[in-house]
Amino acid sequence: MSFKNEWEQHKQNGGSPGLQLNQATTPDLGPGGGRRTDGSGWLVVKDEELGKIGHAAFGLYQGLKKNADIENAGDKAAITRAAAHLSAHSFLLGKALGRTAEVWGSQLKTVMQGCAHISNHLDYSKSSQKEEDRKIGAQILGKDGTALPPSKISRLLG
């Protein structure tokens, strides 16, 4: 059902014109299941989870660089020679082999850049989030100068 049809059906059923879509709760899908919440609808991300994902991305980058990068492994020269040799003997495979090596290198660089971006971004996110938490924690203090626990902050905001 399209949104327009769904909206029309909602209005016919006496739906409120003040409907707010941002009030939906976020399900706790648990480990490996997607979003996690602490039950309040707030997204909770644990440093060790970010670290594992960042480490996996870095490991993939390193593995690709070591085992799949024909340009840095010195294999590109061999492939280029083979392509030239085949082309010199009128084999169409020579041109195709050369093009395949070019495309492989280009696609591999794209994947490796993506892995590096993920790893770097998660490292930045971890440190940035810790700094933001520190700043917020320094601003939210109780009457005695100690940091307020989250349960008291929630009551103050609610």
Report the C-alpha gap between 81 and 140 in whole angstroms. 67
Higher pLDDT, 2 or 69: 69
Average pLDDT, the chain: 74
Q: What is the pLDDT of residues 6-36, one digit of tens each?
A: 767 766 776 555 544 444 444 444 444 444 4
Question: How high is the pLDDT of residue 23?
Answer: 44
Mean pLDDT calculated for residue range 68-72:
78
Q: What is the pLDDT of residues 124-157, one digit of tens each?
A: 777 777 777 777 766 677 777 776 777 776 666 6
DSSP characters over the chain: --HHHHHHHHHHTT--TT--GGGPPPP---TTSS--B-SSS-B---HHHHHHHHHHHHHHHHHHHHHT-TTTTTHHHHHHHHHHHHHHTT-HHHHHHHHHHHHHHHHHHHHHHHHHHHHHHHHHHHHHHHHHHHHHHHH-B-TTSSBPPHHHHHHHH-
Q: What is the pLDDT of residues 34-52, one digit of tens each?
A: 444 455 555 566 777 777 8
Question: How high is the pLDDT of residue 28?
Answer: 47
Residue 70 has pLDDT above 60, yes or no: yes
Residue with tokens 């050369």: 98
Does the pTM exceed 0.85? Answer: no
Comparing CA positions, the residue from 82, 76, 84, 67 lying closest to residue 102 is: 76
Question: How high is the pLDDT of residue 29?
Answer: 45
Q: Which residues, 6+ apart, have CB-to-CB distance to 37 below 8 Å?
A: 25, 26, 27, 28, 43, 44
